[in-house]
């Protein structure tokens, strides 16, 4: 009897036809990861797949983008058409800048009546490099069109061949846009990086009652908070808590884990804050080391911490907690709360 894995009776595998062996090797990302959910730190969004595609190919002269409901792009030789996964009106404002940073000479779009405001912002960010699609020269060779919902995996990426790109596809959209604008400015493709009236991912924080414990700094997954310490001549230590605008992603971990609930959230940051890498001071706390027990306590109360100070004032006595004293008759509570030196 044949074993379970014996294949003597199995039909022979057919040889692959020669014409199928020379086809471009394309694999859909959705076919490989059908149930994957993208994250900010890995595959930030659907555009990251397009950026990987561009990084694995020679630069295109022109890239044409279109809505799913618009006529399909008709790219020519050394041109690329991209069908977006949503309307142009909902596309990221940094889309053209990122495509240009990957080597494209110009980005054009198939007109959409709902995207006028978005297109104006694109043209402000990258003047002269973005415009409505224009008929190209007729050629016997046509370019390729890819769908953002199912971007093919390039041959170079599959076999680990080095790719070229001015931006990292694994970064989130905000980081990629900032990197793209800086790259275009350094290459002289845009005259300056314009003021960007656009909200950023970060949120403004307000701090009151900070104890400089450092829990918020440790809990931030993006290293957006820093706590610096400066030793002063009088023996105190000044702790400065700061927030980096370009690193904050509004995860709220610092608010949730603060042991004294000293952190509250405010409004959304502007992208200009991120572009200029602004750092905002949040709190300044002065502390001192207790001369007796070595614990750290807020400065301004002498050289002893509150516990050692109480013991120093009441070496042979004890005092009832104030909350418990409120539940006792007034005369008894007054006697129990009286310092030992007055009894």
- The predicted-structure confidence for 217-244, as pLDDT tens digits, reads as follows 999 999 999 999 999 988 889 999 999 9
pLDDT, tens only, 61-120:
899 999 998 888 888 888 999 999 989 999 988 999 999 999 899 999 999 989 998 999
C-beta separation of 237 from 260 below 8 A: no
Q: Residues 26-44: what's their mean pLDDT?
A: 34
Q: Taking the CA atoms of 168, 169, 171 and 174 in sequence, report the sign of the dihedral they define.
A: positive
Phi, psi of 324 (to 5 degrees): -70, -35
| 3-class secondary structure per residue, 148-181 | HHHCEECHHHHCCCCCCCCCCCCCCHHHHHHHHH
Return mean pLDDT, the chain.
78
pLDDT above 60 (res 179):
yes
Domain with CATH 3.30.70.20 in the chain: 202-227+240-280
pLDDT above 80 (res 140):
no
* pLDDT interval class at 30 (50, 70, 90): very low
Q: What is the pLDDT of residue 99?
A: 94
Question: In the 8-state DSSP scheme, what is residue 331?
Answer: H
Of the given ranges (136-145, 218-227, 315-324), which has the lowest mean pLDDT? 315-324
pLDDT, tens only, 46-55:
888 889 888 8
- Choose among 204, 201, 182, 205: nearest CA to 193: 182
Residue count of the chain:
343
- Choose among 230, 242, 250, 240: nearest CA to 277: 242
Question: Whole-angstrom Cα distance, residue 298 to residue 285?
Answer: 8
In three-state secondary structure terms, 118 is: helix
Q: What is the pLDDT of residue 156?
A: 61
Q: Residues 113-141: what's their mean pLDDT?
A: 84
pLDDT above 60 (res 27):
no
Rounded to the nearest 10°, the torsion over CA 124, 202, 268, 122 is: 10
- Which pair of tokens denotes residue 229? 């310490």
C-beta separation of 53 from 144 below 8 A: no
User: Please, what CATH class does the domain formed by 202-227+240-280 belong to?
Assistant: alpha beta
Helical spans, DSSP H, in 26-69: 29-32, 46-55
In percent, how much of the chain has pLDDT > 90? 29
Question: Whole-angstrom Cα distance, residue 254 to residue 261?
Answer: 9
Question: Whole-angstrom Cα distance, residue 108 to residue 122?
Answer: 11
C-beta separation of 88 from 132 below 8 A: no
pLDDT above 50 (res 43):
no
């Amino acid at each position: 009897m044949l074993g379970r894995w014996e294949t003597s009776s199995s039909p022979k595998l057919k040889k692959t036809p020669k014409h199928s062996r020379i086809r471009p090797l394309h694999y859909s990302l959705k076919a490989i990861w059908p149930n994957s959910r993208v994250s900010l730190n890995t595959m930030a969004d659907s555009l990251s797949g397009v950026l990987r595609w561009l990084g694995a190919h020679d630069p295109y002269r022109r890239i044409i983008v279109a809505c799913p409901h618009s006529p399909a792009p008709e790219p020519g030789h050394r041109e690329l058409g991209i069908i977006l996964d949503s309307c142009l009106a909902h596309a990221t404002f940094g889309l053209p800048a990122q495509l240009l940073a990957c080597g494209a000479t110009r980005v054009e779009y198939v007109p959409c009546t709902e995207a006028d405001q978005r297109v104006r912002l694109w043209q402000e960010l990258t003047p002269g490099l973005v415009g409505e699609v224009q008929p190209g020269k007729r050629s016997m060779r046509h370019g390729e069109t890819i769908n953002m919902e199912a971007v093919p995996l390039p041959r170079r990426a599959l076999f680990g061949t080095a790719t070229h790109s001015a931006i990292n596809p694994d970064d989130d959209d905000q980081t990629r846009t900032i990197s793209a604008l800086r790259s275009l400015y350094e290459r002289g493709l845009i005259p300056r990086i314009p003021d960007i009236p656009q909200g950023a991912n970060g949120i403004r924080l307000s701090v009151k009652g900070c104890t400089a414990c450092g829990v918020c700094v440790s809990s931030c997954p993006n290293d957006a908070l820093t706590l610096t310490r400066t030793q002063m001549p009088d023996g105190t230590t000044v702790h400065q808590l700061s927030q980096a605008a370009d690193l904050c992603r509004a995860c709220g971990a610092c608010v949730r884990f603060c042991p004294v609930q000293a952190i509250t959230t405010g409004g959304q940051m502007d992208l200009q804050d991120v572009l200029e890498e602004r750092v905002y001071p949040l709190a300044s706390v002065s502390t001192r080391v207790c001369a007796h027990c070595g614990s750290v306590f807020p400065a301004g109360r002498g050289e002893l911490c509150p516990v050692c100070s109480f013991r120093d004032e009441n070496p042979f006595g004890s005092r009832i907690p104030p909350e418990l004293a409120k539940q006792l008759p007034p005369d008894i509570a007054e006697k129990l709360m009286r310092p030992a030196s007055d009894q």
